[in-house]
Amino acid sequence: MSATSNFIDTYVAARQKSAASYRRASAVLGGNVGHDLRYFDPIPLYIERGLGGRKWDVDGNEYIDFLMGNGALLLGHAHPSVIDAIVSVASRGTHFGNDHLLQIEWAELIQKLVPSAERVRFVNSGTEASQLAIRLARAFTGRNKLLRFEGHFHGWHDEVVHGFQLPFQADGSRGVPPSVRDNLITIPDGNMALVETRLSQDPEIAAVILEPSGASYGRVPIDIEFLRQLRTVTTKRNVLLIFDEVVTGFRFSPGGAQGLYDITPDLSYFAKVVAGGLPGGAVVGQRDIMSLFDHTGKSEKDRFERVTHFGTFNASPLSAAAGIAVLGQVASGEPTSRADAMASQLRASLNEVLSRHQIAGYAYGPSSTFHVYFETNPERLKRVSDREDLKTSDARLLKGMPGALITQYQRLLRFHGVDIMSSTGGLLSAAHSETDLGEATVAFEKTITALLDEKLIYRL
Ligand code: PMP
C-alpha cells in the first residue's frame, strides 16, 4: 500500500461523523456539497463552530482557519460585536422588504471609507454585484463589450464564468450560451500595449474589469503601475474602469485596494467583509453612473431609461447590522493592519521552512493573504538554482500547479489542523494570534515533508 493511501485511511478514521454526513449529503445535495470549492476528496469538512481564528468540525477536529468564511471574516469567527448586532436586530424581525435606517447607515459608512463611493447600491453577493456593475457600465456607455483578464475571478454568473481557470480560453461551465463570448475580450494582464491595442481596435468596449489584487486574491501578482496606467488609458478612451473589490474591499485598506493604491475606479463592487460575514454585497460608483438607478417620476421613462434592479433581500437588516458592526471597526485601520501584520509574519515563517528544506517554492501574497508556489515544471527546475529566481507573475505557472499536489497539500494541512481558502493559499484575520501562526507553521512543515516524500514537490 502506498504512503498516500495509508494516510487517507488515517485521515478518514479521524472523520467518522464527517464520513456519515457526507453519505447523507450525497443523497440530498446536488453535487453533494454547497459550493464547488467545498467539494473535497475523500470527504468535505463539516464545521460545527468557529471562534476567532479557529473552527471545529463535527468530529471535534480543530483547525486554524485561513479560509475565514471565504475571506468574509476580517474580525474572525463569532466576533462579539457582530453577534450582538445581529441578535439585537433579529429580535425586531428579520426582513421587511422595505427600506430601513440601517441600510442608510451602512451605505454612509461605505461612502466614508471608499474613495469612489459617491453612491451605493446593495445586493446579496459578489456575483450579483458583478452582474449589476457590468449592467451599469453597459447602460452608461451604451456599449456591450467587456475587457477582462485571464485568471481574474468575478463570480459564477454566465458572462464571466470562464477565463479564471486554466485553460483560460475554455468554457467555464456547461449551460452557458456561447453568445456571451461575443461580448468578452479576455487577455493576459500586465501588458499595457495589448490593452491599448484592444481598446483602440474595438470601439464597443464599455469597461475594463479586474481584481486589483491580481487574479485570485493576489495569487497572480499584479504591477501597481499597470493599475495606474489602466486608469489613465481607460479615462483617455472614455472606457469605464471597474474594480472587483470583493476580496480586497475593507481588507487591503479601510478603503479597499483603491484606497491603498490611490487609484479611483469608475465603478467598484464589494461583498464578503462589507456584510460582516452575512450575505451581502454593494456596487458603488460615481454619482453620474449611479444616477442610472434614479426614478424619473414618469412611468414610461422609468421603465425604459433606467437601470432596473430588484432583489428581495437587498440590504437585509441582519446583513446591514453585521456590516455596520464590522465597518465601524475597520474605519480605525486597526483590523486591516493587524491582519496584514499577521499575514506578513506567516509568509516569512513559511519561507523560512521552505528555505531550510531547500524546497523549490516560495510563499508570497499581498496584504492579509498568503499563497505558496511550488515549482514542478522539470524544465524550470533544471534551470533555476536560487529560490529568488523562481519568482514569477505568469498566471499559467501560478495557476497551473498539478491537481494531485494541491489536493494532497490541502489534505495534509487539514490533517495537521489547518484549513485554507483555495489552491495553496488563504486569508488571515485580525483575530489570528502568534500561537495560530506558530502551529500553522508546524503543520506546514509536516505537510511539505510529506509532499517531498511523495515526490509531489522538489528540492532545488
Ligand atoms: N469576485 C471575487 C474577486 C471573488 O473572490 C468572489 C468570491 N470568491 C466573487 C467575485 C464572487 O462573490 P460571491 O461568492 O459572493 O458571489
pLDDT in tens, 395-441: 999 999 999 999 999 999 999 999 999 999 999 999 999 999 999 99
| 150 and 284 within one domain | yes
CB atoms within 10 A of CB 405: 18
Residue 429, C-beta contacts closer than 8 angstroms, at least 6 positions apart: 53, 68, 73, 74, 75, 76, 335, 339, 342, 368
Q: What's the number of domains the chain is made of?
A: 2
Best residue for ligand 1 mutational test, from 246, 314, 421, 423 (most atoms within 8 Å of Cβ): 246
SS3 377: coil
CATH code for position 231: 3.40.640.10
CB of 130 shorter than 6 A to ligand 1: yes
CB of 154 shorter than 6 A to ligand 1: yes
> How far is CA 422 from each of CA 37, 311, 321, 330, 453, rounded to the nearest angstrom?
7, 29, 29, 25, 23
CB of 246 shorter than 6 A to ligand 1: yes
How far apart CA 258 and CA 228 sit, in angstroms, is 10
Calculate the average pLDDT of the chain. Answer: 96
From 304, 330, 356, the end of a domain falls on 330
Of 456, 446, 452, 219, the C-alpha closest to 358 is 452
Task: Cell numbers for 179, please give them.
Answer: 453568445
Nearest CA residue ID for atom 13, ligand 1: 126
Half-sphere exposure (CA, 13 Å, Cβ side) for 408? 22
> Domain for residue 272, yes or no?
yes
Nearest CA residue ID for atom 4, ligand 1: 246
> Domain for residue 171, yes or no?
yes
From 330, 355, 384, the end of a domain falls on 330
289: buried, middle or exposed (CB in 10 Å: 19+, 13-18, 0-12)?
buried
| 130 and 71 within one domain | no
| Domain hosting residue 151, numbered range | 80-330
> How far is CA 342 from each of CA 246, 431, 443, rounded to the nearest angstrom?
21, 9, 17
| 255 and 403 within one domain | no
Residue 64, C-beta contacts closer than 8 angstroms, at least 6 positions apart: 53, 54, 417, 418, 419, 432, 436, 439, 440, 443
Task: Cell numbers for 73, please give them.
Answer: 471574516
From 330, 365, 398, the end of a domain falls on 330
Split at pLDDT 50, 70, 90, the class of 1 is low
pLDDT in tens, 213-225: 999 999 999 999 9
pLDDT in tens, 176-231: 999 999 999 999 999 999 999 999 999 999 999 999 999 999 999 999 999 999 99
| End-to-end CA gap in the chain | 29
pLDDT in tens, 268-326: 999 999 999 999 999 999 999 999 999 988 777 777 789 999 999 999 999 999 999 99
CB of 155 shorter than 6 A to ligand 1: yes
pLDDT over 70 for what percent of the chain? Answer: 99
| 275 and 357 within one domain | no
> Domain for residue 459, yes or no?
no
Interior angle at CA 63, CA 357 and CA 443, nearest 5: 10
CB of 57 shorter than 6 A to ligand 1: no
- The DSSP code sequence of 71-139 is HT-TT-BT-HHHHHHHHHHHTT-S--SS--HHHHHHHHHHHHH-TT-SEEEEESSHHHHHHHHHHHHHH
> Domain for residue 458, yes or no?
no
Identify the residue whose cell numbers are 489570528.
432
Task: Please give the pLDDT value at position 341.
Answer: 98
> Domain for residue 460, yes or no?
no
Q: How far is the CA of 327 from the centre of ligand 1 (A)?
A: 19
Ligand 1, residue 125: give the atom nearest the CA.
15
